[in-house]
A and B are shown apart, each in its own frame.
Chain A
Amino acid sequence: MRTQMQTTFVVHVNGRPVITHAGETVAAVLLAEGIRAFRRTAHRGEPRGVFCGIGICYECLVTVNGVANTRACVTTVAPGMIIETGGRP
C-alpha cells in the first residue's frame, strides 16, 4: 500500500478559485481565506461564523454546490466545490 500523498485541488469561494487540501473542512478553508462571517441572520441581519466547531450549533451555514444551510465545520472539501458565504434566509 502506498502512502497517500496530500492531494491538492481547486474549490471556488465566492467566485474565486482557492487551492485546498484533501481532508480540509469548508470552515478551515474559509478561515484561512480570512472569512470569519459566514452568513447573516434572518431577522437582525447579524453576522455569524463558527461557534461550536463540531456540527451541533448550525451557525456556520454556507451554500455548497447550490445547497443552502450546509454546515461548513463538518463538510469536507471536494474538487470543484462551489462555496458561497454571506447568505441570509
Chain B
Amino acid sequence: MNEQAELAVVGAGPAGIAAALAAAEAGVATVLLDAQGRPGGQYGRASAAADENVAQDGILRQLADSPVQVMTDTVVWGAFPTEDGAAWELALYGPRAPARLTARTLILATGAYDRPIAFPGWTLPGVMTAGGVQAFLKSQKIAPGRRFLLSGTGPLQVAVAARLVEAGAEVVAILEATRPGLRDVRRLLVLWGQWSRLAEGLDYWRALRAARVPFRLGWAVTEAHGAGAVEEAVICRLDGAGRPIAGSARTVAADTVAIGYGLLPSTELTRLLGCAHDFRPELGGYVPRRDAEMRTSRPGVFAVGDGAGIGGAELALIEGRIAGLAAARDLGRLSEAAAETAIKREQPGLARQRRFAALLSALFAPAAGLYALAHDDTVICRCEEVTLGIIRRAVADGAADVNEVKGLTRAGMGNCQGRVCGELIARIIAAETGRAGDPAAIQSAGCFTARPPIHPLPLETIARGASRQVGK
C-alpha cells in the first residue's frame, strides 16, 4: 500500500496549513497529514463538540475549501529517502492511512510541546503542563482540575489563567519566575505594532484582575505533595539565577499545578532525515538549519513553524507560506518571478514576527536555577523512572552526553523516547561538569539519537508495511 503525492506536509497546525494552502493554490498535489483527529494543531484547537457546518475561521475554512488532501488521525513514524534518492517515503500509522506515502517534496511542520521542568513531586497526578491545561480548555471545554496553581515564564500562563477563570475554575496564583528589569524596557519597543497581541494581553489581564487572581513576579513552584495526587505545593521566591531563596518557602493548597516554562520544538523527523541542526537556545535547542526559503540541508525537505524553532503562530503562518511557495516553484508550478515576488512580500512580516519571538525568548527563558530543583530521589526520566541520583552517578562514571547516559541508565529509552527528559539530562550533564546553564556545555551534551518509529507502534504496523529491505 503505497500512495504518491507531489508534496507531503507533516503537521496541520498554522505552519502546515499555510504551507499546504500556498502550494495547493499554485496547483501542487498536496497531502496534509496530522496525528490529531482534526486540523488546527495546538494553536487552532476547536471544541470537539463544534457543529459540523459552523463556519470556521480563516485558514481552517480555506483548508476545507481547498483541494488539499487532509489525512487526520495519521502518525508519521518514519521518513526515509526512496531507493533512487529522488523522493521521500513517509511511514504512516492510522485507521485510514496507507502504510507508506511517497512525496517528491516534504514540508515538516511538526510543532512543539511544553518544556518539562523537574522538581520533587512533579510526577504526581495533578502536575500538568500549561499547554496541556490549554488543550483541555480549548478542545474539551473543561478545566482539568478545580484549584489551579500556575508556575512558569511568559504570557501563555496569563492566557491559560484567564480561560480557567472563564471556565469557573479557581486560580490560586500565577507565578512568573522571571522578574523583568529596567533594561528590558528598551526591548519592549519591539511590541510597537503588535496591537492585536497587546489588546489580547490586556483582555486577559482585565479578566484576571476582576477575578482577583494573585500574580507574583520572581516566584515558582519548587515541590508538589500529596497522597496519590497533588494536594499542595511549595512555592519559593527566586534569586536572579532562578534559585529558591532560603526561608522564602510557603505551602499552598492546590489540586493542579500547571507548569508553563516555554516550548521545545519537535525535531524527531528532521533529525531522522539527517538534516543539519544547530544549537539555538533562544529557539528551544537543536533546530534544523534553514535558508531564507525554509529549506533544510536535505534537498526537497523544508521545515517551518515551531517545529523548526519556537516563534509562535503568526511566524508559523508566514514561514509556512514561504515554504509552500518555494516548493511550488521547485515542482514547476510557479515561475521564478512569481515565487520571488510572493516570497518577497512576506519578508517584512517575517522580520517583525522573528523580532517579537526573539523578544519573548530573551525575556522569558527560564533561569538556570529552575533546572536544579530536583533532589537525588526525584525521577528525571519519567518513563523509565530514572532518578537524578542515578544520572549523576552515570556522569560521574564518565557519561559525557545524553546518549551515553541513556546507555548506562535507560533514561530516554521509554515510551516518550526522551522528549520529556532530553533537555533536562543535557542540563544535568552541564551542571555536573561544573558548567550549569552554559549553552556550550548543554550543546555538547547533545540530544537523543532519533530512530524510527518516532512514536510507539504495535509491532504489526511495522510488519505490515515492510515490503522490501531498506539497504545501506
Q: Which residues of A contact B (CB under 8 A)?
A: 1, 3-4, 6, 21-25, 27-28, 31-32, 36-38, 41-44, 46-59, 61, 69, 73-74, 76
Contacts and interface: CB of A to CB of B under 8 A. Distances in A.
Interface string B102-125: 000000000001101000000111
Interface string B411-446: 000111001100000000000000000000000000
A56 B113 contact: yes
B385 A28 contact: no
Most buried by B among A1, A23, A37: A23
B382 A28 contact: no
Nearest to A29: B140
Given A22-B49, A58-B383, A52 B113 contact: yes
A19 to B, nearest CB: 14
B274 interface: no
Contact of B35 (A44, A55, A61): A55
Interface residue tally on B, bucketed by range = 35 or more
A52 B382 CA distance: 12
B90 interface: no
Contacts of A4: 51-53
Contact of A58 (B139, B379, B415): B415
Given A41-B385, A51-B128, A3 B51 contact: yes
A51 B229 contact: no
A54 B420 CA distance: 13
Interface of B: 35-37, 42, 47-49, 51-54, 113-114, 116, 123-129, 131-136, 139-140, 142, 144-145, 228-229, 266, 379, 382-383, 385, 414-416, 419-420, 456
16 contacts: A1-B53, A4-B53, A23-B47, A31-B142, A37-B125, A47-B228, A51-B128, A52-B114, A52-B128, A52-B129, A52-B131, A54-B131, A55-B35, A57-B116, A74-B36, A76-B48
B49 A6 contact: yes
B450 to A, nearest CB: 14
* Consensus secondary structure, chain A interface: loop
Nearest to B41: A54
Given A4-B52, A53-B144, A58-B383, A36 B136 contact: no
Given A47-B228, A51-B132, A58-B414, A25 B139 contact: yes
Contacts of B51: 3-4
B53 A3 contact: yes
Given A31-B142, A41-B385, A58-B414, A53 B129 contact: yes
A53 B125 contact: no
Nearest to A22: B49
A76 B132 contact: no
Nearest to B140: A28
Given A4-B52, A38-B125, A43-B385, A49 B229 contact: yes
B195 to A, nearest CB: 30
Pairs of residues from A and B, 10 with the lowest C-beta to C-beta distance, nearest first: A53-B132, A23-B48, A49-B125, A58-B415, A36-B125, A28-B140, A53-B135, A1-B53, A36-B229, A4-B52
